[in-house]
Structures are given as C-alpha cells and as structure tokens.
Amino acid sequence: MQEQISKIREVAVEEISKATDAKELDNVRVKYLGKKGELTSILRGMGGLAPEERPIIGSKVNEVRDELENRIKEREKEFAKEELERKLKEETIDITLPSTKVKRGSKHPLNRIIEEVEDLFVSMGYDVVSGPELETDEFCFERLNLPKGHPARDMQDSFYITSEYLLRTQTSAVQARTLLANTEKTPIRVICPGKTYRRDDDATHSHQFSQVEGLVVDKNISLADLKGTLEVFVRHLLGENLELRFRPSYFPFTEPSYEVDVSCFKCGGKGCNLCKQTGWIEVLGSGIVHPNVLKMGGYDPEVYSGFAFGTGLDRLAMFKYGITDIRLLYQNDVRFLNQFDRLDR
Ligand code: DAH
C-alpha cells in the first residue's frame, strides 16, 4: 500500500511539472485530489485495512496530498508569472516613438470681437440680448419709424421670405423688441450682437454679416452720454489714442443722427489707402432715439430719452486684424483661422 502511494506521488509530481497551462494543471489536480481522484480513493478504501495500518496509511496519504497541493500552487504561481511577463512584453509602449499631434482649435476672429465687446459693455452694466434672425417687417422697419413705402427702406437691400417676413437687415430690430418686451417701462441698457443679412456680395460686403446694436433709455439721456460711451467703446477696441468725429447723418430711428468716424489707425490721420486719403474711417451709426420709436415701444418721449448705435462687427474685425476680404470670415478655411491661434485677444 505504501508503495502504491509512493508510486502515485511520483507520477503526480511528474505530471504537475509537465503541465503546460492552468487547464492541464487543473486536470492533474482532479485526477489525484478530486472527489474520485486516486489519492482520495485510497482514503475511502481505508475501511478494508487492518486497524494498525490505518493511521500509518492515513498520515502518508495526507502528507502526499499536502505536498501535491503545494506543488500545484507553486506551478499556478509560475503560470501567472509567465502570463504577466508575456503580457508586459506584448503591450510594451515605445515611448521614443513620435506622438500624434493633437490639433487645437482657435476662436473665430468674429467671436473674439463679440466677446470683447460683450465684456466691455457688461462691465458698464449693460445686458446682452438677442432677437430672431428671421424677422418681421414690423420689427425690422415699421417700429423703427420706417413705415411701408418709406424711401429710407431702399438703403438696405433685403431678403424677403414673404411680404411680412424677412432676414433681418439690421440688429436695430432688437431695439423695438427690447422696448416692447420691457412691460414695466424701466430704464434700458442693452447691447445685441448678431447676424444680419442683405443682398450684397463683394470683398467688403457679404450677404451675411454681423452687427452689434446698443440701446440706452432712461431719464435725461443726452448726446454727451452717447459720445462718452462710443469713445470708450471705439478706443477700447481699436486704440486708446484714437480721435472720434461725429458727422451729422440720417437714420429714420434716431434724431439727430450721426455717423462716427475714427482717426485712421493705420496712418494716424495723415491719409493712406485704408482711409482713402481722408485720415478718417467710418465705424458706427448712432443717434438720439427718435420720439416715434420710444412711443411705439410704449415709452413716453416726454419723460424718457435714449441713445442708440449700431456697427458692423466684420468691419471692426477686419480693421483690428488686417483682414482684407470679408468673405474670409465666413469661409471657415482652417489656414485662415489658424492664424488667430495664439492671439491673446
Ligand atoms: N442699423 C443701422 C445700419 O444697419 C446702423 C445704426 C444707425 C444703428 C444708427 C443705430 C443707430 O442704432 O442709432 O446701418
């Protein structure tokens, strides 16, 4: 019996060391130590042994079983180690390889300008508001003192969708909306940047362009407020030392109206190709809100007064960044946009 056990041990030890993977090893374990395993059967058959033999055989079997279990455990550890080494080798990362370049986007020049304008006006207590790009004739014209048939409508070549709906030609439409929406008729201080549309298409005019509108309504608002505000605005955006010139003009929704010129930031006012030798560049339309506009917006012009201004953001971006064709702003050519990658503002 003892010999039989030794024999089993010998063969089992050999099979354990020959097992090449975890599955084979498990088969060996079942074969010798499992419920119907060879060692287990010996323990089961002990009833047939002489009583004095039982403890000897029992302890021998237990000894062999413990040994085999330990050897199996050792072998399992070896397999795990081999597996880990294999994986490490397979999944090594060559850190000397060049990396794939991560492409970073950049802010569109128009958005840069919009954010800069918004930051400035918000710092002065203005709200930023918006209105629909598909606008009604009523808000785009009528409520701005431009009734149907008014000759000044010809100043803007519009995209009409129906006889009542059009793509807004000016952010001024939001003036009328803001006045009307403020049901409490409290003072107003807003700017509205947004897209506008006209039937134009050349190097300095795009059918889609961007404007920012400003509107302030309160008691005792005067031209001095308008001038001071626009000086801060234009100088902040284009240069602190620039001069502003208010040239009388005509807009139906303001009276008096002014076009605002800024001393040429390229030649300093001496005259160059940018300012067409005049020393001045036109940047804004503005004026004192027409009493009719206030009245239609529900504000009593005897009590309230206001100023308004509007400017083309594309032109400002072109001046600021030296862009010569407005269409570049709308083509989204990455070679153009990349150039703004590293600007601070
Ligand atoms: N909406 C005018 C335009 O598109 C610009 C303008 C002029 C806006 C005078 C105003 C203003 O608010 O007061 O040409």
The mean per-residue pLDDT over the stretch 280-307 comes to 97
Enter the pTM of the model: 0.72
Q: Is the peptide bond before 248 cis (omega within 30 degrees of 0)?
A: no
CATH number at 282 reads 3.30.930.10
Residue 101 lies in a domain: no
Task: Judge if 29 and 71 occupy the same domain.
Answer: yes
Task: Judge if 185 and 226 occupy the same domain.
Answer: yes
Confidence of residue 344 (pLDDT cuts 50, 70, 90): low
Task: Judge if 202 and 264 occupy the same domain.
Answer: yes
CA-to-CA dists, residue 268 to 233, 261, 265, 280, angstroms: 19, 13, 5, 9
The mean per-residue pLDDT over the stretch 137-157 comes to 91
Task: Judge if 236 and 334 occupy the same domain.
Answer: yes
| Residue finishing a domain among 39, 57, 90 | 90
Residue 96 lies in a domain: no
Tell me if 311 CB under 6 Å of ligand 1. no
Residue 97 lies in a domain: no
Residue 239 lies in a domain: yes
* Atom of ligand 1 at shortest range from CA of 309: 12
Task: Judge if 6 and 138 occupy the same domain.
Answer: no
The mean per-residue pLDDT over the stretch 200-220 comes to 92
How far does residue 39's CA lie from ligand 1's centre (Å)? Answer: 101
Tell me if 209 CB under 6 Å of ligand 1. no
pLDDT in tens, 22-78: 889 999 999 998 888 888 888 888 888 888 888 888 888 889 999 999 999 999 999
pLDDT in tens, 76-108: 999 999 999 999 999 888 889 888 888 777 889
Number of other residues whose CB lies within 10 A of the CB of residue 157: 12
Task: Judge if 135 and 254 occupy the same domain.
Answer: yes
Number of other residues whose CB lies within 10 A of the CB of residue 235: 15
How far does residue 69's CA lie from ligand 1's centre (Å)? Answer: 92
* Atom of ligand 1 at shortest range from CA of 155: 14
Task: Judge if 77 and 115 occupy the same domain.
Answer: no
pLDDT of residue 343: 65
Residue-number span of the structural domain to which 276 is assigned: 110-343
Task: Judge if 204 and 338 occupy the same domain.
Answer: yes
pLDDT of residue 310: 98
* 240 has a pLDDT exceeding 80: yes
| Percent of the chain residues topping a pLDDT of 70 | 99
The total domain count for the chain is: 2
Residue 273 lies in a domain: yes
Cβ(75)–Cβ(25) below 8 Å: yes
Task: Judge if 119 and 68 occupy the same domain.
Answer: no
Residue 305 lies in a domain: yes
Residue 81 φ/ψ region, left for φ over 0, alpha for ψ in the -120 to 50 degree band, beta for the rest: alpha
Task: Judge if 157 and 305 occupy the same domain.
Answer: yes
Residue 105 lies in a domain: no
Task: Judge if 214 and 293 occupy the same domain.
Answer: yes
Tell me if 206 CB under 6 Å of ligand 1. no
Task: Judge if 126 and 201 occupy the same domain.
Answer: yes
Residue 99 lies in a domain: no
pLDDT of residue 235: 96
Least confident of 94-98, 102-106, 243-247, 295-299: 102-106
